[in-house]
């Protein structure tokens, strides 16, 4: 159950039609229908009598409406108590790669254009921050995977390449000097992040397309940060699937080696994701338009790999 589902339900009860409810919340009519249906499915009960026009709540729906209103009023009170001003604070979520390589420059551009706006940044894996945007806990997310949620907008802002990163040892120098058949991955120790990482998600999906059974990989250690993985690779604990943009300095200094994920390369795109209904707020809308002008730093594909 989500706040936006309760808001949609209450809006239908109060406005008597889906169209009027959508207008009151500044969302589309299909969005109202999806939220209401999701709420009913989560409760296992019908709240709106769809055989009646205008829309009226079922007997249970009338009881639920009163409780939903109290929940929404309590939420509004808590927001006022904590003095959260969504019109003055832009709450942004970013995947680890985006937090390091995109946000610092983007926030600088935003500050120059909107100096009165404050920023709050939450770093998390792509799936986590998309879900937070969906629940309106974030206003914008910079993610390594897209979304098809009907009430979210997805705007492409850049790309990088996922590569296989290795320690710079004589053993791995000989490997990259020759062929690297996919089957060799089964013999190499692998360092992985958890599966909610977009880098891991896309790497595993790509390997499966090449016929590699990821369950049979020799995973030596799981780590929860890119920085920890880089250090582990340098210490010779194994190889890993990494964002090239995140290890480019290590490649340039010679601390790490890398090879592409196959002859076609594995290109990963980044997206800015935000709720459609937030565009009704002039400041948030302007901030989103400014963010659309920002791009990831340019790194040549397989530069010095």
Along the 305 residues of the chain, how does pLDDT read in single tens digits?
A: 788 889 999 999 999 888 898 888 877 888 888 889 889 988 888 999 888 788 889 999 899 999 999 998 888 777 655 544 444 678 999 999 999 999 999 999 988 888 878 888 999 888 889 989 988 889 999 999 999 888 899 999 989 899 999 999 999 998 888 777 888 889 999 999 877 788 888 899 999 988 988 889 999 998 988 899 999 999 999 999 999 999 999 999 999 999 998 777 899 899 999 998 888 878 888 889 999 998 887 665 444 34
257 phi/psi in degrees, rounded to 5:
-115, 160
Angstrom distance (rounded) from CA 139 to CA 256: 37
Stretch (H or E) spanning 156: strand 152-167
Strand partners, 260: 163
pTM beyond 0.75: no
Strand partners, 192: 222
């Amino acid at each position: 159950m989500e706040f936006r589902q309760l808001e949609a339900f209450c809006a239908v009860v109060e406005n008597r039609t889906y169209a009027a409810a959508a207008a009151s919340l500044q969302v589309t009519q299909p969005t109202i229908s999806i939220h209401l249906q999701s709420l009913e499915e989560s409760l296992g009960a019908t709240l709106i009598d769809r055989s009646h026009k205008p829309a009226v709540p079922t007997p249970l729906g009338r009881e639920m409406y009163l409780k939903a209103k109290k929940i929404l009023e309590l939420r509004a009170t808590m927001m006022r108590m904590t003095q959260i001003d969504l019109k003055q604070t832009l709450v942004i979520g970013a995947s680890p790669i985006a937090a390091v390589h995109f946000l610092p420059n983007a926030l600088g551009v935003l500050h120059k254009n909107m100096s009165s706006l404050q920023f709050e940044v939450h770093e998390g894996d792509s799936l986590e921050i998309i879900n937070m945007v969906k629940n309106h806990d974030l206003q914008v997310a910079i993610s390594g995977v897209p979304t098809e949620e009907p009430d979210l907008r997805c705007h492409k802002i850049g790309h990088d390449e996922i590569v296989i990163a290795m320690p710079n040892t004589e053993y791995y120098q000989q490997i990259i000097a020759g062929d690297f058949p996919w089957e060799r991955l089964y013999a190499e120790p692998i360092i992985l992040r958890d599966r909610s990482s977009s880098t891991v998600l896309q790497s595993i999906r790509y390997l499966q397309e090449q016929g590699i059974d990821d369950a049979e990989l020799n995973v030596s250690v799981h780590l929860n940060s890119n920085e920890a993985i880089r250090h582990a690779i340098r210490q010779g604990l194994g190889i890993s699937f990494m964002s090239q943009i995140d290890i480019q300095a290590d490649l340039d200094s010679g601390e790490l080696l890398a090879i592409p994920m196959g002859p076609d390369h594995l290109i990963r795109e980044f997206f800015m994701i935000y709720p459609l209904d937030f565009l009704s707020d002039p400041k948030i809308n302007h901030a989103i338009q400014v963010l659309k002008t920002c791009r990831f730093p340019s790194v040549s594909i397989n530069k010095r790999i």
